[in-house]
Amino acid sequence: MTQSAEGVAAAFPADTVTRPSADPEIPAYLQQVYWWAYLHPNAVRLFEREWLVNLILWGNFSRLRDSALAELDASADQRILQVACVYGDFTQRIGDRLGTDAMLDVVDVAPIQLANLRAKLPADARIRLHRQDSSQLHFADGDFDATLLFFLLHEQPEAVRRATLAEALRVTRPGGKVIIVDYHNPRYSNPLRYVMKGVLKSLEPFANDLWENEIADFLPAVPQPAALEKTTCFGGLYQKVIITR
Ligand SMILES: C[S@@+](CC[C@H](N)C(=O)[O-])C[C@H]1O[C@@H](n2cnc3c(N)ncnc32)[C@H](O)[C@@H]1O
């Protein structure tokens, strides 16, 4: 699909979105596999409904969102990075928690997603949007106290997923947290295991990697995390991984 969203990029003022000197390409997997979910204007019109996102997550959206947010200390002067936009109120909820001197930076590679997020947010100088690729972030080492990856990794081919994780670790300061929420291999006793296997196989071809492997398997050799804690919920269908850098 051609990136018809380019026109959308021009529609939001330059001072509300920063771009590196060369705009990143829309990755091939997004264009080929996920155009219907994130790139087509009808996708935003269809999916920007919290009840629908909640339905896709079997009623767990707020639970998963709040579980990620509970890991944040957004008070004081914390600097937080959200890698990739999310349908629903994920970013607004982070914004609600920001202390006066805290900052939230949000990165996405798709202009249409950034425009959609901008329209959902109140004017707030503490929240900045950037058009960047998660596998090649334009931030300095250790810039952030916490970095969030919410349901991004299962959408990425392995090489991109590895690069995204390496970049998330790089831009998070030593002692800071990388907070990941995503799919996980459910227990055999979970009846949704069999439904989701089919759904993910037909719609999300890279998601099976998160069923077959631990997220830790995709981490770079360096830096070694100070700690890694994994919890699962909803019969093991979802996981939260907290990496302390
Ligand atoms: C976070 S994931 C899925 C989140 C969740 N399913 C939801 O409700 O939106 C979707 C976002 O990731 C973005 N994305 C995918 N690959 C990316 C990449 N390499 N760099 C930056 N953003 C990316 C897409 O443009 C899309 O906005």
Distance (angstroms) between ligand 1 centre and the Cα of 132 equals 11
Q: For the CA atoms of the chain, what is the radius of gyration? A: 17
Q: Would the CA dihedral through 198, 203, 205, 211 be positive or negative?
A: negative
Query: In this model, does residue 71 exceed pLDDT 60?
Result: yes
Residues 6 or more apart whose CB falls under 8 angstroms from that of 8 comprise 41, 111, 112, 115
In angstroms, the CA 14 to CA 215 distance is 36
Residue 21 has a pLDDT of 61
114 close to 17: Cβ distance less than 8 angstroms: yes
Residue 2 has pLDDT above 60, yes or no: no
Q: Is the CB of 27 under 6 A from ligand 1?
A: yes
- Token pair recorded at residue 217: 């398997």
Q: Which amino acid is at 227?
A: A
Selected residue with higher pLDDT from 20 and 126 = 126
DSSP letter for 215, please: G
Candidate of 82, 105, 155 to mutate for ligand 1, largest count of ligand atoms within 8 Å of Cβ: 155
CB atoms within 10 A of CB 185: 19
- The alpha carbon of 113 and the centre of ligand 1 are apart by a number of angstroms equal to 8
Sequence-separated (6 or more) residues with CB below 8 Å from residue 9: 17, 23, 111, 114, 115, 131
CA within 13 Å, CB half, 50:
11
pLDDT tens column, 187-213 = 999 989 999 988 988 899 999 999 999
Span of 1-10, 146-155, 226-235 with lowest mean pLDDT: 1-10
Whole-number pLDDT of residue 33: 94
Check pLDDT > 90 for residue 243. Answer: yes
Contact 132, 138 (CB under 8 A): yes
Residues 119-167 have pLDDT tens digits of 999 999 899 999 999 999 999 999 999 999 999 999 999 999 999 999 9
Which residue puts its alpha carbon closest to atom 27 of ligand 1?
85
